[in-house]
Structure 1
Amino acid sequence: MPEPALPPGLTTRPLVPSDARAVFELIAEQERADVGVAEIEEDDLVSEWQQPSYDLAGNSIGVLDGEQVVAYVEYMGEERYDAAVLPSHRGRGIGTWLAAWVQDLARSRGAAMLGMPVPQGSAGDHLLTALGYDVRWTSWVLRLPEGASVGERPLPDGYVLREATPADHEQVWTVTEDAFLEWAVRARTSFEDFAARVWQRPGFEPWHLQVVTAPDEQVVAVANAWNAPTDDGVDTYVSKLAVAASHRNLGLAQALLVAVFAAGRERGATSSSLSTDSRTGALSLYEKVGMRPASVWLHRAIPLGEE
């Protein structure tokens, strides 16, 4: 089949760090069109792009109409990429071109499979389906309704919940990565890249990273959360919630949720949210504490054969 082409008049170039604002606005407009609210934050991109191992120029392409970034794609490594097309530019073949571009890049890096999350029933979902992408897993953005709270769960004797200190950082990284790698399809994130997305994230405050320590004072559970402005208020978003395997079923995750949601409300949040997916088996846990799905995302992927 012939390679897809971009519409006349559009240009392309690799992204640079100063594009963060433009790409954020692009993704936000796509999310508003697809799920009714923008979930993305500009700092998500800044923290991702500042990871020491990440080569933004070598892993991304922006599509421009004049000076405006109207579409982009970036290869996150291994089997994952992200992409967006401004709703006003849909139906012009740009998404098909982006998919071909990133597949070629991933194939050249040795990837055998490639995929990305798309809102269920969205234009991106329909496009990837037409391009032969199949669903690998389902994700949900869950919210705690305004005015609701998670029921408190007392910690077992000897366990302590507190804000993390720099001395905890290596244990925070270890506990979180160990927990996520039980189901995630990726290599272990380096300590330096983890730091770039957690305590080096723009605007980081001590309450954003809370831990539970066991009687031996070792970190055994972690929550990373922050307040984010939304289209209709302020939301406390939990980016990471992890409990060491040998300390589960003790209520540690619930205690951390209570703590970070309360800290967020004290600082002006009116809602609370997090995301989970079908690989973790955690959906029912969050529903039991009163959280409800706000949007459904499908991770669609395609095998990369030889060209």
Structure 2
Amino acid sequence: MAQPVVLPAGYTARPLDPARDLPDVLDLLTGCERALHGERATEADSGEIAAVLARPGFDPAADTLLVHGPDGRLAAWAWTDRRCECRVHPAHRGRRIGTALLGWMETRAAEQGVDKLVQVVADLDAAGLAMLRTYGYRPKGASWLLEIPLDALPDLPPAPAGIRVRPFRPGDPDDAHAAHRVVEDAFADWKARRMSFEEWVQHAVGRETFTPARSPLAVTGADDRVVGVALSLDQPGSPDGYVESLAVDRDHRRRGIARHLLHHAFLACREAGLSRCTLWTHSGTGALDLYLKVGMTVRYTSVVLEKTLPA
């Protein structure tokens, strides 16, 4: 078992209890984002944490840790499972809580036989980046949050030949399985592992904030086969729409399908009364140029860091 973390006087640590701790973790994530950016980069929802808990073999009792301050309020949380994350509330920084949790994450990862850990940190978080570099993490890529205003979108271009676009059909298992296939196949080259259908649902169409009406599918006219998807999430209280996944079958790329799906998603967001649409992309996908060409701009940048752990 991982060694207990050494914390400042008055602080306590215990694993996450999914039945009671999710609201406090969501508040912590929102506080961290607003302190860094002045707003939440993408609105927190329970699906974000549910996706972590759905990782195969993930055990909240062993793979998560919550730190509470002397006042009993949540001060930090961390989880580890090849990827890892540590968030410390701004009011509790400067007390080496993050350093203690980093040691816990690496010890736990070593117990699991993990040889590399990956973390994603906002480029504005100079202190966090400096700490990770000090402890041997090195940049391996970047991710970007992009946005586009919806008040002056260009006209919707014609659909590529032989392709029509329709919304995702909620409750239709065929659409869910087809979307899973397209997304996982599209990102197979740069993701560390393929998600099972059950885990993927927790990340995407099973989330409470999933919005089928803003999630267009590209299908072939001949056999109604799904060859492209743009899956969107709602962000309650935010003026932004959010595209969670954009993917196109390999055999149908370079035909303008991705651009066409994006335009449909943007228009659906505007019809819903939203003022902007956002999405994240990773340097490993090579998709940044596509988003810039459709008029999106970078709002935030994050650094992807990796550390090789000792055997």
TM-score > 0.5 by shorter chain: yes
Structure 1 SS opposite 2:284: coil
- Asked whether the equivalents of residues 54 and 199 of structure 2 are also in contact (C-alpha less than 8 Å), the reply is yes
- Asked whether the equivalents of residues 225 and 240 of structure 1 are also in contact (C-alpha less than 8 Å), the reply is yes
Q: Deviations over 1:84-116 (max 9, x none)?
A: 000111110000011111111111111111021
Structure 2 SS opposite 1:30: helix
Q: State the distance in 1 between where 2:189 and 2:105 align.
A: 27
* TM-fit CA distance, 1:133: 1.0
Q: Deviations over 1:150-178 (max 9, x none)?
A: 55232123211111231222111111001
Amino acid at match of 1:221: G
Q: State the distance in 1 between where 2:85 and 2:156 align.
A: 37
Tell me if 1:244 matches 2:245.
Answer: no
Identify the range of structure 1 (115-124 vs 134-143) with the bigger mean alpha-carbon deviation. 115-124
Determine which of 171, 178, 199 is the counterpart of 1:193.
199
5 Å-filtered alignment, 1:246-261, equals 246-261=251-266
* TM-fit CA distance, 1:260: 1.4
1:94 paired residue number? 97
1:83 paired residue number? 86
Displacement over 3 Å in runs of 4+? none
Q: Deviations over 1:210-263 (max 9, x none)?
A: 210123311100111023135xx4211111000011101111111111111211
Q: State the distance in 1 between where 2:45 and 2:51 align.
A: 10
**TM-score, scaled to structure 1:** 0.91
1:172 paired residue number? 179
Q: What is the count of residue pairs matched by the alignment?
A: 300
- Report the CA distance shift for 1:10/1:298 in structure 2 as closer, same or farther (over 3 A): same
Tell me if 1:22 matches 2:28.
Answer: no
**TM-score, scaled to structure 2:** 0.90
* TM-fit CA distance, 1:182: 1.8
Q: State the distance in 2 between where 1:136 and 1:93 align.
A: 25
Tell me if 1:159 matches 2:163.
Answer: yes
Determine which of 126, 129, 133 is the counterpart of 2:130.
126
Amino acid at match of 1:106: A
Structure 1 SS opposite 2:16: coil
Identify the range of structure 1 (259-268 vs 8-17) with the bigger mean alpha-carbon deviation. 259-268
Q: State the distance in 2 between where 1:261 and 1:50 align.
A: 30
* TM-fit CA distance, 1:141: 0.5
Aligned residues: CA RMSD: 2.0
Q: State the distance in 2 between where 1:25 and 1:162 align.
A: 36
Q: State the distance in 2 between where 1:199 and 1:3 align.
A: 37
- Asked whether the equivalents of residues 116 and 299 of structure 1 are also in contact (C-alpha less than 8 Å), the reply is yes
- Report the CA distance shift for 1:133/1:50 in structure 2 as closer, same or farther (over 3 A): closer
- Asked whether the equivalents of residues 152 and 254 of structure 1 are also in contact (C-alpha less than 8 Å), the reply is no
Q: Deviations over 1:171-227 (max 9, x none)?
A: 11111001111212x211011111222222114343143210123311100111023
Q: State the distance in 2 between where 1:289 and 1:46 align.
A: 31
- Report the CA distance shift for 1:199/1:239 in structure 2 as closer, same or farther (over 3 A): same
Q: State the distance in 1 between where 2:47 and 2:186 align.
A: 22
Q: State the distance in 1 between where 2:209 and 2:29 align.
A: 21
Q: For structure 1, list consecutive stretches of 5 or more residues without a partner in the other structure.
A: none
Tell me if 1:207 matches 2:191.
Answer: no
Q: State the distance in 1 between where 2:292 and 2:210 align.
A: 28
Structure 2 SS opposite 1:207: helix
Amino acid at match of 1:109: Q
